[in-house]
Every structure is written in C-alpha cells, then in structure tokens.
Chains A and B, each alone.
Chain A
Amino acid sequence: NAGVMQNPRHLVRRRGQEARLRCSPMKGHSHVYWYRQLPEEGLKFMVYLQKENIIDESGMPKERFSAEFPKEGPSILRIQQVVRGDSAAYFCASSPVRLADTGELFFGEGSRLTVL
C-alpha cells in the first residue's frame, strides 16, 4: 500500500506565476488535509477536504489560494500569482476516517515551493 504521494517534490516559480501541488492519498483514505510549513517553523493547517467537498478552509489565505479534491484524481492545492512569502514546504496528509473518530494522519513527503 503506497503512502501519501505528493508531486512535484520541488517546484520553482517566479513571482506572479501559478503553482499547482498534487496529492494522492493513501488507498482507501477519503480525508485529505493540507499543511504549510515555513522554514524553521511549525505546521499550519490550511484546508481539510473530503471527496468533492471542502470541509474546513479556515487556514487558507482569502486570496490566491484554492484547493480541490475531485471525485477522480488527486487533491490539488493551487496558488495563483505567487509571491516570495509563499515559499514553504506544503505537506499533504490523509486519513481513513475523521481524526476525532480513531483516525490517524499520514503525511506525504511534501512539496517544496521556492518563489524567485
């Protein structure tokens, strides 16, 4: 059973470009979470999705950021018009059930975005 797969692992963008980060959860997992980690800082929650639904996006910046988890295919975190402050590691995690209901979170290896 493959783990949580993220790609690309490293992404370089110039200011103003778009970044698309993909996450395939573990097989059988329908809950997906995105976290952002700035250099030498902790993990900050961004968004929690289930198939075709955004459950909690309280951690998402109001502009330029969006996330989806379609019925088919990976979850995608999209950042439009990137700025240098978007440079960070973006981790995706998945769980088979809601965390409060005996779930455990499994993290991918992360996508490291560098904005020049």
Chain B
Amino acid sequence: GENVEQHPSTLSVQEGDSAVIKCTYSDSASNYFPWYKQELGKRPQLIIDIRSNVGEKKDQRIAVTLNKTAKHFSLHITETQPEDSAVYFCAVAGGTSYGKLTFGQGTILTVHP
C-alpha cells in the first residue's frame, strides 16, 4: 500500500518567518495531495490541495508544490502568525489507494510571537 513520510515532526518559527513541511510518497500513480490543519481537540480541516496535473498552487499565505518525478510535495506558509500554530498533516490518494487518504505522521508547528 501507499507509504507517506512527513518531515519535520516538529517545527518552531518566529512570527513572520516562513515554514516549510515536506512529504514523500511511494505510489507513483497517486494523484491527489491535500494538506490538513488540526488544532487541539478539533477535526482536521483541509487548507489546500493539489492534483497531479499542476505543480504548484497558492492561496494567500499558503502554497503547495508537487514534484511527481521525485514523489514529494511540500507545504509553504509565509508570514506565519501565532494562529497558524497547529498540527499539519499531508495526505495522498489515488493510484492503488483510489478510495482513501493515507496520512503522514504530522508536523507540530509552533509560531512564537
């Protein structure tokens, strides 16, 4: 089955800095790559996603880049704010896992004021 690796497991930045989280996956046929933000005790919420027909997608301070050849994708958050502090999960779907999302292990992002 699909294997998703996410790094780093924890990330600490100062307010205003950028944060980058990376994920690699194993199934080259995968075609859907979302990122979720989960605050303590809350449900995961989709913040951005990308499909395999594009290489980059941006939404205000958040961007995702995809490199299908290398089988990795990254989340970029610019001008971080304390309210960005949360756990971020990457996920992969498609290919042999067409019906489900396989999640990375998560990254605890802390933005210090």
Residue ranges of A at the interface with B (Cβ–Cβ < 8 Å)? 31, 33, 35, 41-45, 48, 55-56, 58-59, 91, 98-100, 102-110
Contact of B73 with A by CB under 8 A? no
B: residues with CB less than 8 A from A are 1, 31-32, 34, 42-46, 49, 51, 89, 93-95, 98-106
> Contacting B102 at CB < 8 Å: which of A45, A102, A107?
A45
- A46: nearest chain-B partner, CB-CB: B100
Known interface pairs A100-B93, A100-B94; A107-B45 also in contact (CB < 8 Å): yes
Are A104 and B93 in contact (CB-based, < 8 A)? no
Nearest CB on B from A113, distance (A): 14
Q: What is the CA–CA distance of A99 and B46 in the complex, to the nearest angstrom?
A: 14
A99 to B103, CA, bound (A): 14
Closest to B104 in A: A42
- Return B101 CB to nearest CB of chain A, in Å: 6
Q: How far is the CA of A88 from the CA of B103 in the complex (A)?
A: 17
Interface core residue of A31, A55, A107 (most chain B CB under 10 Å)? A107
Whether B94 pairs with A58 at a CB distance below 8 angstroms is no
Q: Shortest CB–CB separation between residue B49 and chain A, in angstroms?
A: 7
Q: Which among B34, B93, B101 has the highest number of chain A CB atoms within 10 Å?
A: B101
* Cβ–Cβ contact B43 & A42, under 8 A: no
Cα(A56)–Cα(B101), bound, Å: 12
User: Would you list 28 pairs from A and B whose C-beta atoms are within 8 A, ordered by A residue?
Assistant: A31-B99, A35-B103, A41-B105, A42-B104, A42-B106, A43-B44, A45-B100, A45-B102, A45-B103, A48-B100, A91-B44, A98-B98, A98-B99, A99-B93, A99-B98, A99-B99, A100-B32, A100-B93, A100-B98, A100-B99, A102-B51, A103-B32, A104-B34, A105-B101, A107-B43, A107-B45, A108-B43, A109-B42
